[in-house]
Chain A
Amino acid sequence: EVQLVESGGAVVQPGGSLRLACAASGFNFDDYAMHWVRQGPGKGLQWVGLINWDASTTFYIDSVKGRFTISRDSSKNALYLQMHSLRTDDTALYYCAKDNRDGGFDYWGRGTLVTVSS
């Protein structure tokens, strides 16, 4: 059974940093790209970025480029989202999602909440 479990969410002040993690199990982690998606309070889904299967390529939405970094550790079956210079509009529930061979994302975690507030 595929499982994705996010952790690391917290309350952080504007300008602060945070690292989120996503523990993956139930599939061959090394074979799949992985994504981060966020959802602000009462808002819709927003794709944040992706990392390809071997960590050689990452892509980000413009609003987080230069502030967020996605990485992965195949030895731990873990995905990470390092966030710097956090802003109040980064406040959201952050999901990790597994890439689907047929496109899109087929499995999601339950999310971890990041609140940026002074």
Chain B
Amino acid sequence: SYDLIQPPSVSVSPGQTARITCSADALSKQYVYWYQQKPGQAPVLVMYKDTERPSGIPERFSGSTSGTIVTLTISAVQAEDEADFYCLSPDSSGTFWLFGGGTKLTVL
């Protein structure tokens, strides 16, 4: 089966850089999409097609890939960035979608 693996938690101090990884099955690597979800709110798209940032998302958010690992990087982290982050990707057919287990970003 196809899995997207994320670390359960990442903690950084304000002003530092947070890196959240999403590891995909080598045979099924498709584009990855990232969502930020704050408590009690709907998810918000913060990165699409691995490295593309939607309009309105701060430049502090960036994406990168290395093999089958996709990384969401948040530079100069602010307290307001604290949230759960989820990666999303389709399976090899592009038909079924799967979320990673989510990463809780804590700003110390």
Contact = CB atoms under 8 A, between A and B. Distances in A.
A109 B42 contact: yes
Contacts of B54: 106
A44 to B, nearest CB: 4
B87 to A, nearest CB: 10
B14 interface: no
Contact of A45 (B31, B49, B102): B102
Contacts of B95: 59
A105 B34 CA distance: 10
B97 A110 contact: no
Interface residues of B, number: 25
B45 A44 contact: no
Interface of B: 31, 33, 35, 37, 41-45, 48-49, 52, 54, 84, 86, 88, 90, 95-102
SS class, residues of chain A in contact with chain B: strand
A109 B43 CA distance: 9
Counting chain A residues whose Cβ lies within 8 A of the other chain, the interface size class is 20 to 34
A61 B48 contact: no
Interchain residue pairs A-B with the least CB separation, the first 10: A104-B33, A47-B97, A108-B42, A44-B102, A45-B99, A45-B86, A102-B48, A44-B101, A104-B48, A106-B45
A45 B35 contact: yes
A44 B96 contact: no
A25 to B, nearest CB: 16
